Each structure stands twice: as C-alpha cells, then as structure tokens.
A = this chain, B = another copy of it.
Amino acid sequence: MFKVTIRDHIMIAHSFTGEVFGPAQRMHGATFVVDASFASPELDENGIVVDIGLASERLHAVLADLNYRNLDEEPALAGQNTTTEVLARVIADRLADSANAGDLGPGALALTEIEVTLHESHIAWASYSRPL
C-alpha cells in the first residue's frame, strides 16, 4: 500500500459544551497542524499516488473555509463540539467529496483511504480515517 501525506494548518477559535471539557468550555482557540494522507494500492503511470500539487491546493481550499474563524459561529458546524476528532472528520469528508468529484485528478479515483490528523499541540493529536 502507498500513502502520500501533505501538511498545512489552521488557526481557529471555539468553545466546548460539556463538563468533561473543564476550562476548554471557555472561548479559546487552537492552531491545528493538519496532515492529510491519501492511500492507494497502486501508482499511476507517472509513479504517483495523487497529484501532490492538486492535493495541496484542495487541502488549502478546504482549510480556508475554517481558517481564521470562530467555529462557534459557522452554520455548517452548528450543534456539535468542534473537537479535534470532529474537525478531523469534517476535513477528511470534504477531501473525500473533492476526490470523488474529480478535483484531485483522474488518478485520485484509485484512492482507497483518506486519513486526516490534526495536531493541537506538541503533546496531543487526533485523526480520522475513512475509505474512499
């Protein structure tokens, strides 16, 4: 199995609902360093899993809709805590939609899995992986 990973980041504000979150129930924020992985059992005729230029552009576009925002005010994310886990799934699902729509190029049709990891600090990170 081949896997290609690219890194980008977002800087957001949010707050959480639920006693389990302690002081994180207050308005605070995070830099999420975002790693997006694309897996495929085979390479295309160019010897790549995916056009890394296209993939970087799409990841950046997906992140631009979240970046420099207060996620508590984003209608698309309403009614849930925007935890690291939840955001990993949101980003992975949007990348999957992009791949399925052909935005990552024809080679992306061979992708079998997308995994998105969000590093919230040097001591904590979370990921979500899903088939394509």
Q: Mark A residues whose CB is within 8 Å of B.
A: 1-9, 11-14, 16-18, 20-24, 26-33, 43, 46-49, 51-53, 67-70, 80-86, 88-89, 105, 120-130
Contact = CB atoms under 8 A, between A and B. Distances in A.
A30 B11 CA distance: 5
Count of identical protomers in the assembly: 6
Nearest to A40: B85
19 contacts: A3-B127, A4-B125, A5-B126, A9-B122, A11-B24, A11-B28, A11-B29, A12-B28, A20-B51, A20-B105, A21-B46, A29-B29, A29-B31, A31-B32, A31-B121, A46-B83, A48-B85, A49-B126, A52-B124
Contacts of A9: 121-123
Contact of A26 (B69, B83, B122, B125): B69
B30 A30 contact: yes
A2 B127 contact: yes
A46 B120 CA distance: 18
Nearest to A1: B129
Nearest to A25: B68
A88 to B, nearest CB: 7
A99 to B, nearest CB: 16
B128 A7 contact: no
Contacts of A82: 47
